[in-house]
Amino acid sequence: MASWDSMISGALSGLTGVVKAAIIFFVFANVLFSTGMDPLGGIADLVSAFTDNGLTGLLVLVVFLSWL
């Protein structure tokens, strides 16, 4: 049973690494190339969406940041 646990945690950590790399890639791509999107403004809007919702938004933001 421990082997299944380690296999699942390894797969999830690998998937988390891929998602992190994709996010970083797209943010830097939007910074380097003018796509009409404001990546820093988008990040600020994302954080304000979490913090404008009171305690629930703050808890979701803490969970989101723990993944990073």
In angstroms, the CA 28 to CA 47 distance is 18
In angstroms, the CA 39 to CA 30 distance is 6
- pLDDT tens track for 7-60: 888 888 999 999 999 888 887 777 666 666 676 776 677 777 777 877 887 787
Both 31 and 51 in one domain: the answer is no
Both 29 and 46 in one domain: the answer is no
Q: Residue 16 has what pLDDT? A: 93
Both 3 and 25 in one domain: the answer is yes
Both 30 and 58 in one domain: the answer is no
Both 2 and 31 in one domain: the answer is yes
Q: Residue 6 has what pLDDT? A: 85
Q: Residue 48 has what pLDDT? A: 77
Domain boundaries, position 28: 1-35
What's this model's pTM, rounded to 2 decimal places? 0.47
- Judge whether 61 and 68 are in contact, CB under 8 Å: no
- Judge whether 39 and 29 are in contact, CB under 8 Å: no
Both 50 and 62 in one domain: the answer is yes
Residue, of 65 and 6, whose pLDDT is higher: 6
Question: How many structural domains comprise the chain?
Answer: 2
In angstroms, the CA 38 to CA 31 distance is 8
R_g over Cα of the chain: 16
